Structure 1
Amino acid sequence: MRAPILVLPLLLLLTACQGAVVKPDYDVSHDFAADQTWQWAEPRVEFRPSDDPRIGGELMAGRIEQAVAEQLDARGLRPVLDGKTADLQVRSYVLVEKRQDNVTTSFGGYWGTGWGGFWGGPAIQTYPVDYRELTLQIDLLDADTGSLLWRGSESERMSERELTPSKRDEQIQRLVSRILAAYPPY
């Protein structure tokens, strides 16, 4: 009898640790099973805002390009050979937006033990907290027409501290793998 009672909180905790499921948008008339090869569309990685040196640059673009190539390879898509035409073109966007969240704290209330305690009125305080959110978006385009076939994106709250290069690698790998886990869409 005790085992099911102890397992339930553990299951709830594990469920809370799950990330949000990426829900891509895609062209339902396209046969994704027929796609075998890909190439980068220019620009390969676009940063918005483009003037923020903390997110833009060759190092970050290289991380994204490597992670995308690895994930597409894991899904059976190969880079196009020189002189050949690809089935898909790939483009990525890194977007950083300012966000605001409201944080509520409460204090006060009941003090004491048993019937000998007393009640002090609780106080609730709500205040805004500004933060930045990083969104990575990956688009798969028809190589012949340039029309969008598949789009996936994932966001994370940016750390206030400067990340080390290895932590940046981990973040990009995590975002790209979450996004492309939803490809192909069936």
Structure 2
Amino acid sequence: MRPSLLILPLLLLLSACQSVQLERDFDPNRDFAAYRTWSWGQPAVQFSPDDPRVASDLKRQRMRSAIAEQLDQRGLRPAPEGSEGDLQVQAWWIVDNRQQQISTHIGGGWGDPWHGGFWGGPTHVETRNVDYQVATLQIDLLDDGVLVWRGSAEQIRRNNPSSPAEREAAIRQTVAQILSQYPPR
């Protein structure tokens, strides 16, 4: 039964961290309604670390497609071929290795000390290190090379979706969540 007691705090930690954490930042002095067109900055999509397990042309294309679709839904159109848009778009896919310590207290008292029943017993504390990865998708919008808006979504990385359609749906959903914060209100 002891190993099952150790798994419970880990499951609680992971379930608490499963939601996507969205963040945004922007220049409040910008008139975002004035932006009408966009183009890809160079490089358009970057990966950190630059590792083939993280970076792929397939993921890059899925991200570009999802971002273009969401910008279109927000009234931003691609700049004509050969010209620079009002905004330049860059995206980052960042994977960080992280570690957290989890302490489990085993043993100790139970009962109700106000009604005469209480047992103190010995207490044992076990501390474990849990390694995990966090993936962040960050989208930057720049005006003449100056950052004017940034949105990101951070989530604990679990096993990748198994099919290409599921991978594309996951990226589309994340991009939609990030760009739901644009334009700033």
Q: Identify the TM-score tier after normalising by the shorter chain.
A: 0.7 to 0.9
Residue 182 of structure 2 aligns with which residue? 183
Preserved CA contact (<8 Å) 2:37 2:79: yes
Cα deviation, residue 183, structure 1:
0.7
Partner of 1:8: none
1: distance between equivalents of 2:85 and 2:110?
Answer: 70
Aligned to 1:34: 34
Distance 1:17 1:133, change over 3 A: closer
Secondary structure of residue in 2 paired with 1:174:
helix
Write the letter of the residue equivalent to 2:65. Answer: Q
The one-character-per-residue Cα deviations of 1:60-111 (angstroms, maximum 9, x if unpaired) are: 1011111111111111111122255411110001111111112222333457
Q: How far has the Cα of 1:185 moved from its partner?
A: 1.0
Matches within 5 A, 1:97-136: 97-109=96-108, 120-136=121-137
Instruction: Report the residue type matching 1:39 in the other structure.
Output: S
Residue segments in structure 1 that go unaligned for 5+ positions in a row: 1-15
8 Å Cα contact 1:25-1:152 kept in structure 2? yes
1:94 aligned residue: 93
SS state of the match for residue 122, structure 2?
Answer: strand
Q: Measure the CA separation in 2 of the matches of 1:24 and 1:38.
A: 19
Deviations 1:23-61 (A, max 9, x none): 3111222110011111111211001111x1111010010
TM-score with structure 1 setting the length: 0.77
| Cα separation, partners in 2 of 1:62 and 1:128, compared to 1, 3 Å | same
| Contact 2:19–2:155, Cα closer than 8 Å, also in 1 | no
CA–CA distance in structure 2, aligned partners of residues 45 and 20 of structure 1? 21
Aligned equivalents of 1:174, 1:18: Cα separation in 2: 15
| Identical positions, percent | 45
Q: How many residues align?
A: 167
Give the corresponding residue for 2:57.
Answer: 58
CA distance in 1 between counterparts of 2:177 and 2:155 reads 12
Is 1:138 aligned to 2:136, yes or no? Answer: no
What is the root-mean-square deviation in Å for CA atoms of aligned residues? 2.7
Per the normalisation by structure 2, the TM-score is 0.77
- What is the CA distance between 1:115 and its match in structure 2? 7.8
Give, in angstroms, the shift of residue 162 of structure 1. Answer: 4.5
SS in 2 for 1:23: strand
- CA change 1:103–1:170 in 2 (3 A) is farther
